[in-house]
């Protein structure tokens, strides 16, 4: 396959969009439940607690990608992402807005930041994403961000769905999502153009598609963890447990 | 806590055994199902296919630990593990015996070795284990192997349970498990002695416990992935699907 002629830019873009249509996490049962008002308060709490870890690692991921870009212009463009998430001053930035969401859901900030109660599936998936950007080619590192082609749609579904169904979330606590779509579009357009320009052989194009598949799996795996732990109430030992759940016996019967 | 007096060796060992009693994967619903004859043939196939990835990475993990051991005697001891899994010649070793199990379950060896159909949860958890050994202290890297304190028990349950309930497995195809307990005991005794001797402060002892908790999470997360995908039939896009399952439409409705 990698000795085939390269796809045209239009064909590669279509292939990437098809990957999103087949694998992006808006298809996941947890998201359908969350967006349609089917989640309990505790499920929303768990989602936000775990999602914070992912968001808190995005600047780390983006700094890692920055280490792979040898062009000043490329780094100048990519640096905007770190600024979006870390902000320009105290109280600014996407990471901070996620903390306001977890604040509103009753979590102490120290607990959220320490990531003590998160699922191992969350940690392993997110850490795999950073490691991917550290060890794969720069093209793949950039390509792994291409889920942002699809995020404006899911953000729209999420904001309208959650505002409509959960009286415990407000437009203010969902502020991260309101700010994100124009940034995501800008980032996705740049990353797509980068990949179309730099993936010149069929083999490189396959790597771009695989990188997007990988990133879709990073997002999907996190929701799988949430479903088992908080919808089915079969959590791994040691993770956050809602106060409403029964206490565990000190030592489980072996 | 880390300024408290260190635990005695007996107290630390008891703490580690309690961690196993609370977190080891013999407690997982997938294992209870597998060992009691409740798994379908396809679930056993999926378990073996995914488990192969973990086993195939154990020599990589052990070589990684080897890079962290500065004592010739320690490395000489740890090297035995690589020999157990990779063997002394073609056709020998634990990894090869897992391939005989996947052979017996109908998988082509190239497919199994390429790890094409495995769950992302498997890959992320296993890769996290290798990365842990690469980046944490040598003490933590050794401590992460301490689940071998508990494996002889689960291996006993597994072999007797699977032989009793599944006519498609034989003692020969479960040969890996028959050979493993004495090796696991030898390895676990050495690793426990290493940890008890080298974890001198309370803080170091806490790291040893955390490393074992981490490893338990690596094993648990893999079974969570199998449960969602193959017991509940809610797999992530792109993984192995049994032939008996319906074909997917080419593009899922978004």
Please give the ipTM for the structure prediction: 0.95
Confidence of residue A247 (pLDDT cuts 50, 70, 90): confident
Could you tell me which chain A residue has the CA closest to the CA of B252?
A: A22
Within a domain: B251: no
User: Could you report the per-residue pLDDT of A184-194, keeping only the tens digit for each?
Assistant: 899 999 999 99
A171-176, long-range: CB < 8 A, 24+ apart: A172/A100, A173/A100, A173/A101, A173/A104, A174/A101, A175/A97, A175/A100, A176/A55, A176/A94, A176/A97, A176/A98, A176/A101
- Residue range of the domain that includes B73: 9-241
Residues A204 and A194: their CA atoms lie apart, in Å, by 12
Within a domain: B249: no
Total domains present in chain B: 1
Q: Are the Cβ atoms of A252 and B22 closer than 8 angstroms?
A: yes
Q: Are the Cβ atoms of A225 and B220 closer than 8 angstroms?
A: no
Confidence of residue A34 (pLDDT cuts 50, 70, 90): very high
Task: State yes or no: pLDDT of A54 exceeds 70.
Answer: yes
Q: Are the Cβ atoms of B217 and A238 closer than 8 angstroms?
A: yes
Within a domain: B247: no
Q: What percent of chain A has pLDDT over 90?
A: 82
Within a domain: A71: yes
User: Could you report the per-residue pLDDT of A134-183, keeping only the tens digit for each?
Assistant: 999 999 999 999 999 999 888 888 888 988 999 999 888 888 788 888 88
Write the residue in B18, B23, B228 that is nearest to A227 by C-beta.
B228
Task: State yes or no: pLDDT of A253 exceeds 50.
Answer: no
Q: Going by C-beta distance under 8 Å and a sequence separation of 6 or more, which residues neighbour residue A48?
A: A98, A101, A102, A105, A107
The per-residue pLDDT for A254 is: 39
Write the residue in B20, B221, B254 that is nearest to A236 by C-beta.
B221
Average pLDDT over residues A40-57: 97
Write the residue in B121, B218, B252 that is nearest to A22 by C-beta.
B252
Chain A residues close to B115, C-beta within 8 Å: none
The per-residue pLDDT for B2 is: 56
Residues A105 and A170: their CA atoms lie apart, in Å, by 11
Virtual torsion, Cα A119, B195, B65, B79, nearest 10 deg: -130
Residues A44 and A104: their CA atoms lie apart, in Å, by 11
Per-residue pLDDT for chain B (254 aa), expressed as one digit of tens each?
Answer: 556 899 999 999 999 999 999 999 999 999 999 999 999 999 999 999 999 999 999 999 999 999 999 999 999 999 999 999 999 999 999 999 999 999 999 999 999 999 999 999 999 999 999 999 999 999 999 999 999 999 988 888 888 898 899 999 988 888 878 888 888 899 999 999 999 999 999 999 999 999 999 999 999 999 999 999 999 999 999 999 999 999 887 654 43
Chain A residues close to B221, C-beta within 8 Å: 120-121, 124, 225, 236
Virtual torsion, Cα A57, A60, A64, A65, nearest 10 deg: 70
CA A22 to chain B, closest CA, distance in angstroms equals 5
Q: Are the Cβ atoms of A121 and B121 closer than 8 angstroms?
A: yes
Could you tell me which chain A residue has the CA closest to the CA of B229?
A: A224
Within a domain: B132: yes
**CATH number where A152 lies:** 1.20.910.10
CA A117 to chain B, closest CA, distance in angstroms equals 13
Q: Are the Cβ atoms of B224 and A220 closer than 8 angstroms?
A: no
Within a domain: A180: yes
Q: Going by C-beta distance under 8 Å and a sequence separation of 6 or more, which residues neighbour residue A118?
A: A49, A50, A53, A239, A240
User: Could you report the per-residue pLDDT of A204-246, keeping only the tens digit for each?
Assistant: 999 999 999 999 999 999 999 999 999 999 999 999 999 999 9
The per-residue pLDDT for B179 is: 82
Within a domain: A247: no
The per-residue pLDDT for A1 is: 52
Within a domain: A15: yes
Q: What is the DSSP string of chain A?
A: -TTSPPPPHHHHHHHHHHHHHHH-GGGSHHHHHHHTT---HHHHHHHHHHHHHHHHHHHHHHHHHHTT---HHHHHHHHHHHHHHH-SSTT-SHHHHHHHHHHHTT--HHHHHHTTT--HHHHHHHHHHHHHHHHS-HHHHHHTTGGGGTHHHHHHHHHHHHHHH-TT--TTTTHHHHHHHHHHHHHHHHHHHHHHHH--SHHHHHHHHHHHHHHHHHHHHHHHHHIIIIIS--PPTTS---TTSPPPPSS---
What pTM was estimated for this model as a whole? 0.96
Residues B208 and B195: their CA atoms lie apart, in Å, by 7
Per the structure block, which two tokens stand in for A127?
């850490």
Confidence of residue A252 (pLDDT cuts 50, 70, 90): very low
Chain A residues close to B35, C-beta within 8 Å: none
Write the residue in B21, B121, B216 that is nearest to A254 by C-beta.
B21
The per-residue pLDDT for B252 is: 47
Q: Are the Cβ atoms of B120 and A26 closer than 8 angstroms?
A: no
Q: Are the Cβ atoms of B251 and A128 closer than 8 angstroms?
A: no
Q: Which of A1, A27, A121 to mutate to test the interface with B (most CBs of B within 10 A)?
A: A121
Provide the mean pLDDT of chain A.
94
């Amino acid at each position: 396959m990698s000795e085939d002629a390269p796809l045209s830019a239009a064909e590669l873009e279509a292939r990437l969009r098809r990957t999103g249509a087949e694998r992006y996490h808006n298809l996941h049962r947890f998201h359908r439940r969350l967006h349609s008002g089917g989640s309990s308060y505790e499920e929303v709490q768990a989602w936000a607690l775990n999602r914070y870890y992912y968001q808190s690692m995005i600047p780390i991921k983006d700094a890692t990608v920055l280490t792979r870009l040898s062009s000043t212009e490329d780094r100048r463009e990519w640096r905007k992402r770190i600024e979006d998430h870390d902000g320009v001053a105290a109280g600014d930035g996407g990471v901070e807005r996620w903390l306001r969401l977890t604040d509103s859901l009753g979590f102490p900030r120290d607990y959220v930041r320490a990531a003590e109660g998160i699922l191992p599936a969350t940690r392993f998936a997110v850490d795999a994403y950073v490691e991917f950007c550290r060890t794969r080619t720069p093209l793949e590192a950039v390509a792994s961000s291409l889920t942002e082609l699809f995020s404006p749609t899911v953000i729209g579904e999420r904001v309208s769905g959650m505002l409509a169904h959960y009286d415990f979330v407000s437009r203010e606590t969902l502020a991260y999502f309101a700010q994100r779509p124009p940034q995501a579009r800008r980032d996705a357009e740049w990353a797509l153009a980068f990949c179309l320009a730099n993936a010149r052989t069929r083999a490189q194009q396959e790597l771009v598609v695989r990188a997007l598949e990988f990133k879709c799996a990073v997002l999907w795996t996190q929701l799988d963890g949430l479903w088992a732990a908080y919808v089915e109430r079969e959590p791994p030992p040691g993770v956050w447990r809602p106060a409403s759940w029964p206490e565990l016996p000190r030592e489980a019967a072996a």
